Structure 1
């Protein structure tokens, strides 16, 4: 027994000593960044903007892998279960770390304890946009049309339990309207069907919807943002229309599984910060309507917990349930 006890201590000591050594050589192979949604949405856009300059900063390629399904749960679960060595990271979103866990009791991970937050890359506004064939083109007409025809219309989102779903359900409960939810496997497919007119409206993150808005293929109705956006100066915020609880922005950050060595976390964090110091990279993010954040790991961890707490209260007070 004594010998086994000392062997256990020796093994633990060797493992603890080896971790910093492994971290010092990090990375010595390709790093994978898992996007928990299909290509074409905001999460995918932000990941692909940051992956190349982050790879240059780290000295190894960073490849993006899309793992869609379950409103982001499948991809997030893969990140939570990854080996904590820094070679498989994930893009953290409000959908995967706050909205979905708040409404879905079957989520197989704890958003607060099962990840290692590293950095929030950007905060992005959200928007309700309609197909040009929709009878209303401004907020007043939009809400009047919905109230006049409860149940007639449907909306698309990036998936059940995602931020688009939960914020729209909150909007419905506060505005006294009813619209049917049509979930997709990411914002890309949801946008495609909305732009094609198969679904009359979408609740989406602005970066993925903005190109279609600029091309007049979608009409913006109301945005979740601190103030009116320079890209959409005539579109009111949810706060302006008296619905401040809906006026919440999304975030897009990088996290890994719990237990990532601090040295690895620091290298990834510093690599992202360095990438975001490049004016061209910042411009690509800001041109989508997003705001560059680049906060510290503990700040991002606190942000994730705070956002989860907010959406849990929203779900509980409004008694929201999955369809």
Structure 2
């Protein structure tokens, strides 16, 4: 396998002509009074509280409030591997008062699979900025008999799907990572999908209801510190700063690279002045030194991209995931 880093016009025109307004004038007016005093901006997080997506949103929240001059509220809408929250986001009015945390591959892949019945496509999102790249990891219980990544993978090769492994939902990042591991190493795990996110998956692992935790660096940093999990391998291009002693899969001889990208988007169609204000506020919040430090302490490495770059990254990911989607669907 190749190595992958697993980015009614006529009616409107008629109304504008009848009122003597132009789209440019309308958009400028919308931007001048945005945000209105006392009207909050909501950040929809498509996963349960306590996970990396939720934590990152709550770290940028106070800086956004300062930059926008209004309250910013984090709203959790978990379920269906992020699809419930993404549906809520893309169904909202494109006025700047509803934005959402968007993470790939979930936001990229869910509309590509017809069986998911997603009501949105990539075109329904307006990317505002990327915040982090969070490499995937594989972990076992502290008392697990498997001391190294090689030992775990060899066991999963000899007895395929004898061990269960967590994901944060079908076609989520962990699901893709497991499929990539299977194709690259012939080590096969039985995926157990937890559609509400990393917190639900971690709880199941800590309760020993699943054998292996497949997660992101940020999900396991505290678990390692508390000796509640032993990470055997990181699926990043290089060592994770939060887990400096843990080898990468590549170092161990396995060409497996997988990571989750997270950022923020709005419903498509924002007035340009509103989009510019949100993009600028998010950049300030994401790159705020205190936010970057707190993110780093949690194992979340800031990797900012502006709106245009994030959109291009998203489009490339869509192309990449289309290629590997069939094999992941086979592993459901």
Query: TM-score, with normalisation over the residues of structure 2?
Result: 0.89
Give the alignment partner of residue 211 of structure 2, picking from 200, 219, 224. Answer: 200
The answer to whether the 8 Å contact 1:31/1:87 transfers is yes
1:45 aligns with 2:55: yes
1:77/1:242 CA distance change after superposition, 3 Å: farther
Q: How does 1:1-323 map to 2 (within 5 A)?
A: 9-11=17-19, 13=21, 16-28=24-36, 29-103=39-113, 105-184=115-194, 185-244=196-255, 246-316=256-326, 318=327, 320-321=329-330, 323=332
Pair 1:6–1:77, CA change in 2 (3 A): closer
Kept in 2, the 8 Å contact 1:122–1:291? The answer is: yes
Instruction: Label 1:218 to 1:146 Cα distance change in 2 as closer, same or farther (>3 A).
Output: same
Q: Which runs of 5+ in 1 are unaligned?
A: none
1:224-256 deviations in whole A, cap 9, x for unaligned? 212112332332223223443x31321111101
Q: CA deviation at 1:101?
A: 3.6
Report how far residue 265 of structure 1 moved.
1.4
CA distance 1:288–1:102, shift in 2 (3 Å) = farther
Describe the SS at the equivalent of 1:227.
coil
Q: Aligned partners of 1:196, 1:17: CA distance in 2, in Å? A: 58
Shift of 1:319: 6.2
Once the two structures are superposed, what CA deviation does each residue of 1:21-79 show, in whole Å capped at 9, x if it has no partner?
12221112101001111112111111111112111111111111111111111111111
Judging changes above 3 Å, is the alpha-carbon distance between structure 1 residues 278 and 306 closer, same or farther for their aligned structure 2 residues?
A: same
Aligned equivalents of 2:96, 2:14: Cα separation in 1: 30
Q: Measure, in 1, the Cα distance between the counterparts of 2:117 and 2:221.
A: 31
**CA drift at 1:296:** 1.5
**Following the alignment from structure 1 to structure 2, what is the Cα–Cα distance between the partners of residues 169 and 73?**
21
Aligned residues between the structures: 317
Q: Secondary structure at the match of 2:102?
A: strand
1:162 and 1:39, CA in 2 relative to 1: closer, same or farther beyond 3 A?
same
Note closer, same or farther for the CA distance 1:101–1:134 as it changes in structure 2 (3 Å cut): farther
Question: What SS does the aligned partner of 1:159 have?
Answer: coil
Residues 135-171 of structure 1, C-alpha deviation per residue, up to 9 Å, x if partnerless? 2021011112212332221011111221111221221
Q: Aligned equivalents of 1:104 and 1:137: distance in 2? A: 40
Residues 157-203 of structure 1: CA deviation (Å, up to 9, x unaligned): 11122111122122123221221111112110110110221111121
What's the Cα RMSD here?
2.1
